A and B are shown apart, each in its own frame.
Chain A
Amino acid sequence: MSIFVNKNTRLVVQGVTGKEGQFHTRQCVAYGTSVVAGVTPGKGGQKMDDVPVFDTVNEAVKKTEANCSMIFVPPPFAADAIMESADAGIELIVVITEGIPVMDMMKVKKYISGGKSRIIGPNCPGIITPGECKVGIMPGHIHKPGGPIGVVSRSGTLTYEVVHQLTQKGIGQTTCIGIGGDPVNGTSFIDCLDAFQKDEQTKGIVMVGEIGGTSEEEASEFILKNVTKPVIGFIAGLTAPPGRRMGHAGAIISGKSGTAQGKIDAMKKSGIHICENLGTLGEICVSVFKNA
């Protein structure tokens, strides 16, 4: 078992002929993901390696039965690409693109609400079910298939660090999801926690947050009420100065809101095991998950 993606996932890549799109499509194919189509307007009929390219997502879905899309389209055109994907009936839309205007994402989120599509990201590394399916830009080889741990994070390379430490300690993963570093995103911590709680194979969860917003606080409340599996939490940005955007558009402390300490306190209250020093995460996982 796993969440959101598995060996039945049929991937269409939007922006497949661009530099990033090509590189990461090849990486996904090499990992074993079933990449059934690519979309680049104006390049329909061509092929990217063995992947057929279409002009529209609609056409790609009709001809290949794709059910998941991965988006590499540049920021000014990304909102358009996401809505195109949703209208074509794609169930899972993974948006890698960094730098989409906040207002565009607000409109997209309202537009797809009530429909059957789920967005992961934007500004995220994607999602991977080790050994089955990789939809994203993360290095596949650092993951260990078979579970029992689910990982959810707002960051990219920080997630790789966390997964790497788990794998080094011999702890495998069910699914790892990067929900993205933007202020307005599709899938939330809560969506992932809920799915991990319901997934039988997942026995424990690592949640990686950072400064800015209140999503970790909301997730903590959710965990207190709904999650019975052990959760380890890490928050980046204890030393971040207030009022500065720390790389990610969403990583900013506004006045007293969005601080790392506030999030850590909320997590502690909900019974989440806190890892304060990233260097010790692997050891903490060993001790917390030893019975998982």
Chain B
Amino acid sequence: MKIHEYQAKELFRKYGVPVPNGGVAFNSEEAIKVSDSLGCFPVVVKAQIHAGGRGKGGGVKLAKSADEVKSTSKSILGMNLVTNQTGHEGRLVKKVLVEQGLNIKKELYLGIIPDRSTAKFVIMASEAGGMDIEEVSEKTPEKIIKIFIDPISGIYPYHCREAAYGLNLPAGSVKEFTGMLNSLYKLFVDYDCSLLEINPLVITAEDKVIALDAKITFDDNALFRHKDILEYRDIDEEDPLEVEASKFNLNYIKMDGNVGNMVNGAGLAMATMDIIKFAGAEPANFLDVGGGASAEMVENGFKIILGDKNVKGVFINIFGGILRCDVLAEGVVKAAKKTGIAVPVVIRMEGTNVEIGRKILSESGLNLITAIDLQDAVGKVAAIVNS
């Protein structure tokens, strides 16, 4: 789960990690109030959306007076912010973070992630702050310090010292930095984070270490033990169909194509999207109804897929195995009658009683086209949407 920068900074404050003074605002009057309370200029007005690259997209601006706070917050709030991470459709800005401007001497990068292959946490630090860290790691990997932490024994002071001296910090900043890194690690572990990133972490003219930016994502599987984090969820940042699907426990991701598809199992769902593309069509979505696919899941899946008006044909690919195909077919027919399908549906299913299942589908009187295998199915659905 993603959260906003201002929410991540709230967590930073809770853990004693220094952040600039500031506050969130939903309109320009509130922005001015926050700016007044800071009592200094310049201030920075930052768009709050769940995507990076905001500065380059025009979502971060400096304001040198109350009038400028008003005009910049007015221009950013309500803008459709397009960045390299939002896709071409962009994201509507509904809130801004207003913060004190800082006197910056140096910009650094600091991140923590779990490393999949070693099953350890890895702290990444670099003097090349403020830049795209992936680019740095690709072109100049020697500029990134990596420190691995065993999840059972946890962080030790030498880990923090290694990062501090590796970053060539001014002598006066080392102690502050090591304390801060220790707190960030604690926050990471306490909240089951899957990513914590500060880019840039700045050293000010006064040698203070401050988190100018803050990005945290959480392990969805661990949210059951962090009810307080769930309150940070911002449904405005999610696709409405995806929000609807999540209510039914369906894994749905909207895409740009016109072949709606419903599959049981994530791997097979991805492979089904790929095969649609190979057949010369474009998938409209990813939809995994779960390995055990029940008739009820299929019905809910239908509703979600048909909620996307771009869909010109639907491909259902269910590898039941243990699941009986006659039961599944009855579920599909019932769901199709209930939701009222206006587009052709191609169904490929496999499992026990597959012949009876196909018979139920073809005799249903509905626009349901059966297929014998993957190739057959995808050929049929591609022909429909491309005709």
Contacts and interface: CB of A to CB of B under 8 A. Distances in A.
B268 interface: yes
A152 interface: no
A181 B267 CA distance: 8
A247 B288 contact: yes
Interface in B331-358: 350-352
A110 B321 contact: no
B366 interface: no
Given A101-B222, A142-B321, A246-B286, A237 B270 contact: yes
User: Which range contains the number of B residues in contact with the other chain?
Assistant: 35 or more
Nearest to A184: B119
Given A158-B268, A161-B374, A184-B114, A76 B224 contact: yes
B116 A279 contact: no
Interface string B263-276: 11111111111111
B286 A102 contact: no
Nearest to A237: B270
A246 B270 contact: yes
Nearest to A111: B152
A214 B268 contact: no
Interface in A236-277: 236-241, 243-251, 255-257, 260, 276-277
B269 A103 contact: no
B260 interface: no
A105 interface: yes
A101 B138 CA distance: 30
B119 A109 contact: yes
A46 interface: no
A103 B192 contact: yes
Given A159-B267, A244-B253, A249-B221, 19 more contacts: A100-B221, A103-B114, A103-B189, A103-B222, A106-B120, A110-B150, A125-B291, A139-B352, A157-B263, A160-B350, A161-B268, A161-B319, A161-B374, A210-B270, A236-B267, A237-B274, A256-B134, A256-B138, A279-B378
Interface of A: 27, 75-76, 99-107, 109-111, 125, 137-139, 141-142, 153-161, 164, 181, 183-184, 208, 210-211, 213-215, 218, 234, 236-241, 243-251, 255-257, 260, 276-280
